[in-house]
Amino acid sequence: MAQIEVLIEDTRWTDAGLHALAERACVAALAELSLDADFEISLLACDDARVAELNTEFRGKPTPTNVLSWPSEERSAQVPGMIPRLPADIPHEMELGDIAIAFETCVREAEAAEKPFSDHVTHLLVHGTLHLLGFDHTNDPDAALMEGLETRILAKLGIEDPYRV
């Protein structure tokens, strides 16, 4: 079973029940890909200012965003639209990487989409976990693969398709 280490910098995340949401979302993403080993994920629960700092430092974008991910190693597929090299294929790999999530941006996006906050956060944590596993959305085939996985995982959790218009 996955081990999710949560570091709460913004206490509003505690009130939002982030520990339970993270456990549910990350485990569901791993289970969908038949990954049931003791993988480790570190999650930083922070505010927009902190995520903006991280986004500036690592992506050169001086703005907040909803979620950021740092895989412990490169796992991307060689061919767009194909499944990446999953950790199950890498013996003894346990640490998947780090995720940071921004409170204010998540609240704004959930309100704008008229979605429950917990559903939106669950989606973003599934999304971040898939990034740790090498999935991406930088081109159409990769985006279709990743969004399809997200939709399937969320449906199993009773959450509506976040990409349905």
Residue 25 to residue 12: CA distance in whole angstroms: 19
Residue 135 to residue 149: CA distance in whole angstroms: 10
Exposed/middle/buried for residue 107 (C-beta within 10 Å: 0-12, 13-18, 19+): middle
Does the annotation list 120 as a binding residue? no
Does the annotation list 127 as a binding residue? yes
Q: Which residues are annotated as a binding site for Zn(2+)?
A: 127, 131, 137
Q: Which residues are annotated as a binding site?
A: 127, 131, 137
